[in-house]
């Protein structure tokens, strides 16, 4: 029997995990970046991984870029050792190309988060750090069934959508989307149907990990 905590209700389906030794070079299809990480799909295995770097990641990288990373042996870089999708890389990703069309769709489609499971395996916008489990991912690709709405209110950008019949409002950290809204002067926008989002957990703050939208991925 598996006992679930009150917060973590539903285990996510088994993930394709990546096992590579330090020194291995991987080629990733980028889906999102953060200050010190790059989330991408390992082209060889199809696994969704989150590579944590000791040096800031170039925020000019965008979804559908292809990068190379080298696996490192430095577990102290991981903000959450339970992340099943986390790897440590020896430095920032290196841009090597771009992918679009059918090839990208074939990599993304099997990784889309199941609609009948709470995002990242739990309801709500936060989870206690000590309730994190290795069978719940820290990053996921999702395609909301209804149009995705974004708002900019006094600076922060928020994503509004429905998931599993529940309304969701999460902060959006996609710098390209924020810049686009700022240039246009819009405070409200409805994105094209089929737009994907990358949902990620932030490193813990005061014992809690927060869900954020780290990137909005246009459908190709």
Q: pLDDT tens for residues 185-220? A: 888 899 988 999 999 999 888 999 999 999 999 988
The predicted model gives 160-173 an average pLDDT of 93
pLDDT at position 1 is 28
Q: CB neighbours of 52 closer than 8 A, spacing ≥ 6?
A: 36, 37, 77, 78, 79, 86, 87, 88, 89
d(CA 180, CA 186): 9
pLDDT at position 28 is 97
Instruction: Tell me which residue of 9, 11, 46, 37 sits closest to 134, measured CA to CA.
Output: 11
pLDDT at position 187 is 87
* Percent of the chain topping pLDDT 90: 60
Q: CB neighbours of 67 closer than 8 A, spacing ≥ 6?
A: 27, 28, 30, 38, 40, 61, 93, 94, 95, 96
Tokens of 33: 């970046």
User: Which pTM was predicted?
Assistant: 0.88
What is the pLDDT confidence band of residue 162, given thresholds at 50, 70 and 90?
Answer: very high
d(CA 140, CA 120): 7
Instruction: Tell me which residue of 66, 72, 60, 67 sits closest to 24, measured CA to CA.
Output: 72
The number of beta carbons lying within 10 Å of the beta carbon of residue 144 is 22
d(CA 210, CA 68): 28
Instruction: Tell me which residue of 196, 193, 149, 140 sits closest to 169, measured CA to CA.
Output: 149
pLDDT at position 15 is 52
Ordered by where they begin, the domains of the chain are 25-108 (2.40.50), 111-217 (no CATH)
């Amino acid at each position: 029997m598996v006992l679930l905590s009150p917060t973590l209700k539903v285990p996510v389906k088994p993930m394709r995990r990546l096992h590579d030794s330090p020194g291995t070079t991987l080629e990733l299809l980028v889906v999102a970046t953060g200050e010190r990480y790059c989330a991408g799909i390992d082209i060889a295995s199809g696994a969704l991984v989150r590579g944590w770097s000791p040096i800031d990641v170039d925020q000019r990288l965008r979804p559908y870029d292809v990068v190379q990373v080298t696996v490192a042996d430095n577990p102290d870089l991981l903000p959450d050792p339970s992340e099943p999708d986390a790897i440590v890389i020896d430095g920032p990703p290196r841009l090597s190309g771009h992918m679009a069309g059918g090839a990208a769709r074939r990599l993304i489609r099997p990784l889309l988060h199941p609609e009948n499971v709470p995002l990242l395996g739990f309801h709500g916008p936060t989870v206690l750090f000590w309730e994190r489990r290795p069978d719940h991912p820290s990053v996921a690709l999702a395609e909301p069934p209804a149009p995705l709405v974004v708002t900019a209110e006094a600076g922060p950008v928020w994503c509004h959508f429905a998931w599993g019949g529940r309304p969701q409002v999460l902060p959006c950290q996609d710098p390209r989307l924020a810049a686009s809204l700022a240039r246009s002067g819009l405070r409200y926008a409805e994105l094209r149907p089929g737009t994907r989002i990358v949902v990620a957990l932030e490193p813990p703050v005061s014992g809690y990990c927060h869900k954020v939208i780290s990137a909005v991925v246009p459908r190709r």
